[in-house]
A and B are shown apart, each in its own frame.
Chain A
């Protein structure tokens, strides 16, 4: 067997992967669509370092992400970490460098993030996140913009069907405050609500004997507060204090604004969403697509984060995982297209070939020049093998031959109208 046909095993480390042509093209395409969308909404992209001091990245992220960080040492022995998300580096940039700029700031980013977490649904240890942050604006108008932009972005990257579920940490926090349970019981309650474990809620309530009936029924109703905007009305009736009322008031306002954006069809509500309760300070949301069991996008309001790095500033934002968007698109029948050239050009007998190629490329035609000196028949076979739909060869500028699936015909080198037609075929 010749050396060309052999390969050597060269394992990759756990958690990383190569993207080949079609996938890379699809990623770049999605990034371009996202950038166009962001920019139309006034967001400006920043580039962030891949690694920073571990202390910076671990600030207030919660133990979960902390345990998932890739850490290593610099030459002075200081601990560095690969960024586990982009929100914290963004908050650092804002808190340390941009805090006195005219507000609000609209920032966007795209890049790799790194986490030691079991690969799930297209997410390896290294995966690509793209996201936006709207900083310096509290309130429902900013929240609605963020969610509406998430909807616009998912549409822009070509996910036909998806749903964004919106919650508010104030609702459950208010409930916990009203219940005033012993800490252990409260954390078990949160855990049960997180798993939507309805039966467990009843058992936990049995342990909290002194609770008034109204509080009991609020807890038991919690798992049912999932669905369209109608759940907000249902939630209103179980509010036990002003924190809960405020959360519902905020969400009502948000729902009106989302209707104004015309995106209400893509939105549902979940008042029993208690994930990342410590991180977020207001609304939270997650986006799901049919068939993909995991969230595509997640975000919310986190007014306390930037204050860790500088003057406190309200902020709302989200990040989507491009790797999962790819999967969601495939599940909905959208396949990444293999990039290929429009024409394979023989250089053999035709001195003006490079100039002709340069002009065709200016018109947007993807032109490959054959470097192997193939004869027309071999050139046609080479084109077929690589998915190129036509070849062009000499003998001279006035007598070019074009061959495609329809057959062969002669053209003159200055028939640019003919060449432009190749673009769309």
Chain B
């Protein structure tokens, strides 16, 4: 009757780190998490079932209980505003959500901008950030290549994830402010946290142990 716990993993940048981390915590993980085309993979030890989803979809899968737990960037979790538990911050996927603008932009405080056009993939966090400072930003919601927007005059500023800053620099952009320091987090469904309490607790403790050892 021991059904595996379903874990939603983000396809892409975090996949290998997440799988590696789970493996170190003693869970059997599929060999080719990212390379394969299968979207549902079973761990050989029957403790976890892996579903591979688009990073921004992880919180939805978990909120609805389609996955009991999941790994997602804190940026994605905050942007989604989904009602999930986030028991653990994981030691990978470090990056920051930052406001950036043209490197030659005048040294003007963001608060003094009139109504800047801001291109982003994170409309909620962007809106909240500017609104909190009393600035009526005009959001331009994009699904990729946000750095392009200021170059072609589509936007004055961008809000995007920055890991090293290389992409920004190569496109003549500079970071202005950090909105959120992000990293991978383990999230859990509110019902699963209770109905599968033993297994979820086991997973949290196993991952926390790996973190303590390193």
Closest to A118 in B: B81
Chain B proximity mask over A188-201: 1 for CB below 8 Å, otherwise 0:
00000001111110
Q: Give A401 to B188 CA distance when docked, in angstroms.
A: 62
B-contacting residues, A297-334, CB 8 Å: none
A-contacting residues, B177-214, CB 8 Å: 188-195, 197, 201, 204, 208
Closest to B191 in A: A288
Take A291-B65, A293-B64, A294-B191 as given contacts and tell me if A198 and B87 are in contact as well, using a CB distance cutoff of 8 Å. yes
Closest to A197 in B: B86
Take A198-B204, A198-B208, A293-B65 as given contacts and tell me if A226 and B87 are in contact as well, using a CB distance cutoff of 8 Å. no
B197 touching A199 by the CB < 8 A rule?
no
Candidates B64, B89, B201; contact of A199 at CB < 8 Å: B89
B87 touching A292 by the CB < 8 A rule?
no
> What class of interface size applies to chain B in its complex with A?
20 to 34
Q: Give A69 to B112 CA distance when docked, in angstroms.
A: 35
* Interface residue B63 (Cβ < 8 Å from any Cβ of A): yes
Take A198-B208, A226-B197, A293-B65 as given contacts and tell me if A288 and B190 are in contact as well, using a CB distance cutoff of 8 Å. yes
* Interface residue A354 (Cβ < 8 Å from any Cβ of B): no
B-contacting residues, A130-166, CB 8 Å: 163, 165
Q: Give A199 to B85 CA distance when docked, in angstroms.
A: 12
* Interface residue A103 (Cβ < 8 Å from any Cβ of B): no
* Interface residue A95 (Cβ < 8 Å from any Cβ of B): no
A121 touching B64 by the CB < 8 A rule?
yes
A-chain residues with CB within 8 Å of residue B193 when the two chains form the complex: 196, 226
* Interface residue A289 (Cβ < 8 Å from any Cβ of B): yes
* Interface residue A282 (Cβ < 8 Å from any Cβ of B): no
Candidates B190, B201, B208; contact of A293 at CB < 8 Å: B190
B-chain residues with CB within 8 Å of residue A165 when the two chains form the complex: 194
* Interface residue B135 (Cβ < 8 Å from any Cβ of A): no
A292 touching B86 by the CB < 8 A rule?
no
> What class of interface size applies to chain A in its complex with B?
20 to 34
A-chain residues with CB within 8 Å of residue B190 when the two chains form the complex: 288, 293-295
* Interface residue A290 (Cβ < 8 Å from any Cβ of B): yes
Q: Give A174 to B193 CA distance when docked, in angstroms.
A: 24
* Interface residue B25 (Cβ < 8 Å from any Cβ of A): no
* Interface residue B41 (Cβ < 8 Å from any Cβ of A): no
* Interface residue B95 (Cβ < 8 Å from any Cβ of A): no
Q: Give A167 to B190 CA distance when docked, in angstroms.
A: 14
A163 touching B194 by the CB < 8 A rule?
yes
Candidates A163, A197, A200, A294; contact of B195 at CB < 8 Å: A163
Candidates A120, A268, A289, A292; contact of B197 at CB < 8 Å: A268
* Interface residue A66 (Cβ < 8 Å from any Cβ of B): no
* Interface residue A85 (Cβ < 8 Å from any Cβ of B): no
Min distance, Cβ A271 to any Cβ of chain B, angstroms: 13
Min distance, Cβ A326 to any Cβ of chain B, angstroms: 16
Take A121-B64, A198-B204, A198-B208 as given contacts and tell me if A290 and B86 are in contact as well, using a CB distance cutoff of 8 Å. no
* Interface residue B136 (Cβ < 8 Å from any Cβ of A): no
Q: Which residue, of B64, B65, B88, B208, has the highest number of chain A Cβ atoms within 10 A?
A: B65
A293 touching B191 by the CB < 8 A rule?
yes
B-chain residues with CB within 8 Å of residue A120 when the two chains form the complex: 63-64
B194 touching A195 by the CB < 8 A rule?
no
Q: Give A163 to B197 CA distance when docked, in angstroms.
A: 11
Min distance, Cβ A335 to any Cβ of chain B, angstroms: 20
Min distance, Cβ A274 to any Cβ of chain B, angstroms: 12
Chain A proximity mask over B62-94: 1 for CB below 8 Å, otherwise 0:
111110000000000000000011111100000
Closest to A268 in B: B194
B194 touching A292 by the CB < 8 A rule?
no
* Interface residue A270 (Cβ < 8 Å from any Cβ of B): yes
Closest to A228 in B: B197
Nearest 10 A/B pairs, CB to CB: A293-B65, A288-B191, A196-B85, A199-B89, A293-B64, A293-B189, A196-B87, A195-B86, A197-B86, A165-B194
| 18 pairs, CB–CB < 8 Å, chain A vs chain B | A121-B64, A198-B88, A198-B208, A199-B87, A200-B89, A223-B87, A226-B194, A226-B197, A268-B194, A270-B194, A288-B194, A291-B65, A293-B66, A293-B189, A293-B190, A294-B64, A294-B65, A295-B191
Given contacts A196-B85, A226-B197, A227-B201, 18 further A-B contacts (CB under 8 A): A120-B64, A195-B85, A195-B86, A196-B87, A196-B188, A197-B85, A197-B86, A198-B208, A199-B89, A223-B87, A224-B201, A226-B194, A227-B197, A268-B194, A288-B194, A289-B195, A293-B62, A294-B64
Which residues of A does B touch, CB under 8 Å?
120-121, 163, 165, 195-200, 223-224, 226-227, 268, 270, 288-295
Which residues of B does A touch, CB under 8 Å?
62-66, 84-89, 188-195, 197, 201, 204, 208
